[in-house]
Amino acid sequence: MSSTTSPAHARRRTRASTENERFGRPSSGWRQRGFDIIFESDTRPGQLFDIVLLVVILASVLVVSLDSVRDLGRENRTTFIVLEWGFTLLFTVEYVARLLCVRHPLRYARSFFGIVDLIAVLPTYLAFFFPELHLLIDIRVLRMLRVFRILKLTPYLSEYAFLASALYASRRKIMVFLSGVLMVQVLLGTVMYVVEGPENGFTSIPLSIYWGITTMTTVGFGDLVPHTNLGRAIASFMMLLGWGILAVPTGIVTAEMAGRRMRGDVLLRECETCGTTGHSQSALYCQDCGASMTPPDR
């Protein structure tokens, strides 16, 4: 018999089920207990682990940001180094623990968040073991990679999966829209190349298309501007067109999200057989391949 579950609880169960299927939950022992704490959030230890990890991630990103301020970085160099190594060691322990607590560690290592976890710790070790890198690149380049730690927050944002699924469901409409915009850019860029010509800076069609993109997106770097009256008229038309174009993808995604809210599909499920998304919580069969699906509240 089905039991009523809250959206938050259903989200946690769906996430745990997905991790279980992809990476494999050990059947017993300390690895199983570790998996329950690290990958599942419907237990008290799992919730505490997530909260602590969120705080550490935010703190590490804050330290990296403050270290990039020249005066603060120079005055508190030792403190920032100690904190950075502390965060790096913590994330290293977490990464190794995730690998040890799954039956398929290679799958996790090759997953999106597995790669993000590795990028979050790798730069510090590279700078330590290969000091000659300082002669090749500025160490700040490696520090910038540590900001990828912020991506580790995404599994814990409840609405992130909903937004991501809406974007994924709208991908074809958005691609068609972008293709149409690109065709307009090619057409108007070619026209501007003919109207303005190399004497006014429009030395090639690709350069004219670049100007059209910056103009239509209302960026307007100012490195290339029309000088003829007809060119200015075309530029004005493209600027006005840009305002309307910017609203289209937003409307597509918003309509998709609103439709899902109205249908009650706040938590969209993915078929474990073919990977098709967009199934409601009560779906029994995949809408694409027809495979059997068990609702998460059963």
Q: Please report which helix (H) or strand (E) contains residue 111, including its range.
A: none
Give the per-residue pLDDT at 43: 74
Give the per-residue pLDDT at 281: 63
Pick from 13-17, 56-60, 172-176, 250-254: least confident: 13-17
39-53: average pLDDT? 79
The label of the residue with tokens 């690709």 reads 206
Give the per-residue pLDDT at 149: 61
194-199 long-range contacts (CB < 8 A, ≥24 apart) are: 195/226, 195/228, 195/230, 195/231, 195/234, 196/226, 196/227, 196/228, 196/231
47-55 long-range contacts (CB < 8 A, ≥24 apart) are: 50/156, 53/94, 53/152, 53/156, 54/153, 54/156
Percent of the chain's residues with pLDDT above 70: 72
| Average pLDDT along the chain | 77
Highest mean pLDDT, choosing among 112-116, 147-151, 156-160, 238-242: 238-242
Helices (H) and strands (E) in the chain, counts: 13, 2
Give the per-residue pLDDT at 174: 84
227 versus 131: the higher-pLDDT residue is: 227
116-143: average pLDDT? 66
Instruction: Tell me the CB-side half-sphere exposure of residue 206, using CA atoms within 13 A.
Output: 0
297 versus 74: the higher-pLDDT residue is: 74
pLDDT band at 4 (very low <50, low <70, confident <90, very high): very low
Q: Is residue 133 scored above 60 in pLDDT?
A: no
Give the per-residue pLDDT at 170: 82
Report pLDDT digits (tens) over 178-232: 888 899 999 999 999 999 989 999 999 999 999 999 888 877 787 889 999 999 9
Q: Is residue 241 scored above 50 in pLDDT?
A: yes
pLDDT band at 260 (very low <50, low <70, confident <90, very high): low
